[in-house]
Structure 1
Amino acid sequence: MVQHNIDFRIYYEDTDAGGVVYHARYLGLAERARTEAIRAQGRSASDLLADYGLAFVVRQAIIDYRAPLRLDDIVRVTTRLTELGAASCRLWQEFHKVGDAAGTGCGTLDVRLACVRATDGRAARFPPPWRDLLRALIA
């Protein structure tokens, strides 16, 4: 299975008053990682919108927090596509602290994305070129 890895530094704006990454920031980091995984395949989410009037939306997200990330940590987000349907896909994302000898797993995200028409939000099938792009991430 193909996977995409990308590293992010944790900045002050990502943390709460205790210096620990605020829980919602994991969702933002995961979104950036998914965007870059698609970009690494030669397209961008804005291409889907511009060419077909379609967009990805999060339909479901289940997150499991395991260990805290803190200010100045480097986190590696690994993204893998685990399912591909006609108008949806499911991804598994893992958060690991980089530079930690143990490679601490800080959390996981199981996310289902739907493909929708931007004009009315109704579900739409992935166009064939996008099915091929996504299929390349799962193969």
Structure 2
Amino acid sequence: MKQVEKKDTVTVTLVGSLDNETVFETIDKSDPLTFTLGEEGIPKPIQRILVGMQIGEMRKVRIEPEQGEFGIRRGDLLQEIPLAQFSDKIEPKIGLILSMDVESGGATHKVPATIVEIKSDSIMIDYNHPLAGHPLNYEITLIDIIKD
């Protein structure tokens, strides 16, 4: 039976979850993921665990924050904003995701930020990705191998 080797193109299904079993990503057989090992965009630990797998085999991998694409939580991505800057149309609530204007490279971009704390005269927003700082658990099943 064929096994995955470096540089092969593979088709997989996967389920990504947090330690509390919250599922953050599901790729199933109706729309599987196909990629070539070594490509950017697929976490290296996922690519490494695929090497040696056979069609139909399932493996699990855990990606620590330091290894993952979302990284560790960064304190410099927290910002306190005066409540007076908010329009009356927005009622701040913890967990609410806002679209904030951020300047970078001479241009203004819309960036998501989550309200993490509400004080009497200000709110604290977090620009970290929601998965930053969390170990990510993946269950990967190999559907097909397309040899290089």
Same fold (TM over 0.5): no
Q: Which has the larger radius of gyration?
A: 2
- Bigger RCO of structures 1 and 2 (CA < 8 A, at least 6 apart): 2
The structure where helix makes up a greater share of residues is 1
More strand by share: 2
